[in-house]
Amino acid sequence: MPGAIHAEGLVKTFGDVRALDGVDLDVPEGTVLGLLGPNGAGKTTTVRVLTTLLRPDSGSAVVAGIDVLKNPNEVRRSIGLSGQFAAVDEYLTGRENLQMVGRLYQMNARVAKIRAGELLDRFNLAEAADRPAKTYSGGMRRRLDLAAALVVSPPVMFMDEPTTGLDPRNRQQLWEVIQELVRGGTTLLLTTQYLEEADHLADTICVVDHGKVIARGTADQLKARTGGERVEVVVHEPDEIGPAREVLAAYGKGDVTVAEHTRKLTVPVTGGAKLLAEVIRDLDSRGVEIDDIGLRRPTLDDVFISLTGHAAEVADDSDDGEQDARPQAHGRKNRKESVK
């Protein structure tokens, strides 16, 4: 399989941390695998092993038909990598950085220049193109790093949290670039903390936690695990929680959960919008004033909760991308403490 990724039993420990605890992966050629998990789950370590930057303690991997442990140099020639460890030369301008990458890949100078120009436009870096990269903000660097990974389109690409730290507009644009890349036949392994991103881009999703794949499937398959849709109601006054609970219990297909401090009640339902209208009418007739009500279809976030019993802690850095927003503030230890 020239473009496939296959890994078996990858284990990597750092001291007493088992960063990878037996990871198996299969990415058929031309498909996108989303490796989804919170900070410290083992995503970057997986990418580093598969891209030959790190040797696992045990396990094996084949990328683009080449054994990662036996022939790392050959693997490197067949892959592209962008992410937390890729290199941008600070002293070169954005344009020079991209041209240099093209030259490294044996493009002639003219072609490299054209390609650099296209990518600078694409990633909204045209204005800053002739400034040294060291003057770039975190979000701009990240875009430059991604552009550098796309100068050539190798058969297998790895992207480690490609959109972390990008603002919504740049994220959307990057998603389009990624989809285009994949339409061209590239096999992609992408890591993300963003559930909607995996949903949007990946054919298959592997949910990782504590160095293990805890679930795999399509977004729909994973969503189905949470048991379908729910009605969520936020009541206006705390003393309305009681009557609202009774109403929801009558319509629900399971237990009503209550978050007292936010006055939010949730119950699994079937019946969709029609049922929602009935619930509203019933709440109204009981004199319950509602601040908010909605029908929620499960997100991958819900999947994570149903799989692990805790929420995926997603670094909230999505809205102003122009800062360095790499989410490395909390490792696994922090996360564990915070869910106690």
Ligand X SMILES: Nc1ncnc2c1ncn2[C@@H]1O[C@H](COP(=O)(O)OP(=O)(O)O)[C@@H](O)[C@H]1O
Q: How many residues touch ligand X (CB under 6 A)?
A: 13
Is residue 46 a contact residue for Mg ion (CB under 5 A)? no
Is residue 143 a contact residue for ligand X (CB under 6 A)? no
Residues near 311 by beta carbon (within 8 Å), at least 6 away in sequence: 301, 304, 305
Is residue 14 a contact residue for ligand X (CB under 6 A)? yes
Is residue 212 a contact residue for ligand X (CB under 6 A)? no
Is residue 331 a contact residue for ligand X (CB under 6 A)? yes
> What is residue 79's three-state secondary structure?
strand
| The entry of ligand X, Mg ion, none that residue 263 binds, CB within 5 to 8 Å by partner kind | none
Please identify which residue in the block is written with the tokens 């293990």: 212
Residue 256, H or E segment: none
**Within 10 Å of residue 287's Cβ, how many Cβ atoms?**
8
Is residue 42 a contact residue for ligand X (CB under 6 A)? yes
Residue at 71: amino acid letter: N
Is residue 163 a contact residue for ligand X (CB under 6 A)? no
Is residue 44 a contact residue for Mg ion (CB under 5 A)? yes
Is residue 39 a contact residue for ligand X (CB under 6 A)? yes
Is residue 185 a contact residue for ligand X (CB under 6 A)? no
Which span sits near ligand X by CB under 6 A: 23-31, 33-41, 215-223, 276-284?
A: 33-41
| Torsion angles phi and psi, residue 14, rounded to 5 | -120, 105
Burial class (CB within 10 angstroms; exposed 0-12, middle 13-18, buried 19+) of 15:
exposed
Is residue 40 a contact residue for ligand X (CB under 6 A)? yes
Burial class (CB within 10 angstroms; exposed 0-12, middle 13-18, buried 19+) of 297:
exposed
Q: Are 285 and 272 in contact (CB under 8 A)?
A: no
Which span sits near Mg ion by CB under 5 A: 35-43, 105-113, 138-146, 181-189?
A: 35-43
Nearer to Mg ion, 31 or 46 (CB): 46
Which span sits near ligand X by CB under 6 A: 39-47, 122-130, 134-142, 179-187?
A: 39-47
Rounded CA separation 309/313 (Å): 12
Q: Are 151 and 101 in contact (CB under 8 A)?
A: yes
Which span sits near ligand X by CB under 6 A: 36-44, 74-82, 174-182, 289-297?
A: 36-44
- Nearest-approach distance from CB 25 to ligand X, in angstroms: 14
* Site for Mg ion, residues 93 to 122, rule: CB under 5 A: none
Polymer length in residues for the chain: 340
Q: Are 24 and 191 in contact (CB under 8 A)?
A: no
Q: Are 298 and 269 in contact (CB under 8 A)?
A: no
Q: How many residues touch Mg ion (CB under 5 A)?
A: 2
Is residue 204 a contact residue for Mg ion (CB under 5 A)? no
| Torsion angles phi and psi, residue 60, rounded to 5 | -140, 160
- Nearest-approach distance from CB 325 to Mg ion, in angstroms: 13
User: Residues interacting with Mg ion, by CB under 5 A?
Assistant: 43-44
Give contact residues for ligand X (rule: CB under 6 A). 14, 17, 19, 37, 39-45, 331-332
